[in-house]
Amino acid sequence: MRTETKHTAAVYALALSALLLLATACRQDMHDQAKYEPLEASSFYANGMASRPLIANTVPRGFLREDTVLFTGLDAAGSPAAIYPQASLAERIPGAGEMSEKELWGLLLKRGETRYGMFCTPCHDPVGTGRGMIVQRGFKSPPSLHEERLRESPPGYFVNVMTEGFGQMSSYAPLVSPEDRWAIAAYIQALQLSQHVRLAELPAELVHSFGEAQNEAPADAAEHGSEGHGEEVSHGADQSGEI
């Protein structure tokens, strides 16, 4: 009786392993199905290539990029666009279609802030001076976004740098959608203003609050001693009226 039970157990075990083996074989079949890997050679097509060339004068679905300004930042003449393609942006950002112009700008700047934080701060740092963590670890230092040349660049220029890459900086087009590249450009312009606005350009209520901040500044500077804070404060008090 006992040996019989053992025997049955052995048969079950065998049957189970056979089943398991079958199951793996089945899985392998799914893995090794007939398909071409990217750029693999093919004996089926006359030119020996498995990847088929695009058919002339056709555009794959979802790849129509007629709106050059939106996608590249360049206008019809090939110069960086100075005007935001607002209508296309409103169309592409979810929920933006029903927004007022002011709300749309608020949303753009918010999107720009988060995307700048994700994709640009590692090198350009949060303020845009080009001392991000990757640079501190030895990568080429980008120019400060507050340089006069870049302060005077139109937003399309930043979009174009992100789209095509620039020198050692690679293209961000595969990672950042065109609407978000424009949002980042808007945020960069806000960053630039944050470091370099003329008092006369500020709305009255902000000039007022800036005046208050300035009154507090000397105490702050004294607290921090010669750490460089004092320098910023004296900059603010500059005769030219620039912050």
Judged by the rule CB under 6 A, the positions of this chain that interact with ligand HEC are 119-120, 122-124, 134, 139-140, 142-143, 158, 161-162, 166-169, 172, 176, 184
CB of 192 to ligand HEC, least distance (A): 11
Q: Is 242 helix (H, G, I), strand (E, B) or coil?
A: strand
The two three-digit tokens of residue 146, written as one number: 């507050």
What is the rounded CA–CA span in Å between residue 91 and residue 54? 29
Nearer to ligand HEC, 142 or 178 (CB): 142
Q: Which is nearer to ligand HEC, 90 or 115 (CB)?
A: 115
Which pair of structure tokens corresponds to residue 195? 């470091």
Beta-carbon neighbour count of residue 236 at 10 Å? 15
Nearer to ligand HEC, 95 or 165 (CB): 165
Tokens in use for 102?
A: 């002011």
Nearest approach, Cβ of residue 95 and ligand HEC (Å): 23
Q: Which residue has the tokens 């753009």?
A: 108
Whole-angstrom distance, CA of residue 104 vs CA of residue 110? 10
Residue 27 or 140: the one with the smaller Cβ distance to ligand HEC is 140
143 vs 211, beta carbon nearer ligand HEC: 143
- Which residue lies nearest ligand HEC, judged by its C-beta? 167
Report phi then psi at 80, rounded to 5.
-60, 130
Ramachandran angles phi, psi of 169, nearest 5°: -85, 130
CB of 172 to ligand HEC, least distance (A): 4
Minimum distance from CB of 118 to ligand HEC (Å)?
8
Q: How far is the CB of 87 from ligand HEC (least distance, A)?
A: 23
How far is it, in rounded angstroms, from Cα 21 to Cα 52? 38
